[in-house]
Amino acid sequence: MIDLKTIDKEEVKYFIDYVEKFYGEDGIFPLNATRQDIEFACYGYLFTTLEWDFGESEHRENVRDILIKRFGYDGSWFE
């Protein structure tokens, strides 16, 4: 598991913004997740991931999966 203390706070904010551009309200993909849910999903992911390479689309997609599975967003568009 990574140590969140080693990740720059601006990097985390940028990642949350990045995820929101894809899956937030009026995002590129029609998930329409709220900013608050995206933040919770991002932090939840960061607390559980073993590796962190900032900006990888794999990380964004893992957060998307959390939004669908744990927050109940409709992921049928991604199937």
Q: What's the Rg (C-alpha) of the chain?
A: 12
Question: How far is Cα 27 from Cα 5, in angstroms, rounded to an integer?
Answer: 29
pLDDT the model gives residue 48: 85
Q: Which residue has the tokens 């949350």?
A: 16
The pTM score is 0.87
Q: Does the pLDDT at position 66 exceed 70?
A: yes
Question: How far is Cα 60 from Cα 54, in angstroms, rounded to an integer?
Answer: 10
Give the single-character DSSP code of 60. Answer: H
The token pair at 36 is 């608050």
- The percentage of the chain sitting over the pLDDT mark of 70, rounded to a whole number, equals 89
pLDDT the model gives residue 18: 95
Q: Mean pLDDT throughout 32-41?
A: 97
Question: How far is Cα 64 from Cα 42, in angstroms, rounded to an integer?
Answer: 9
Q: Does the pLDDT at position 67 exceed 90?
A: yes
How many separate domains does the chain show?
Answer: 1
Enclosing domain of residue 59? 4-78
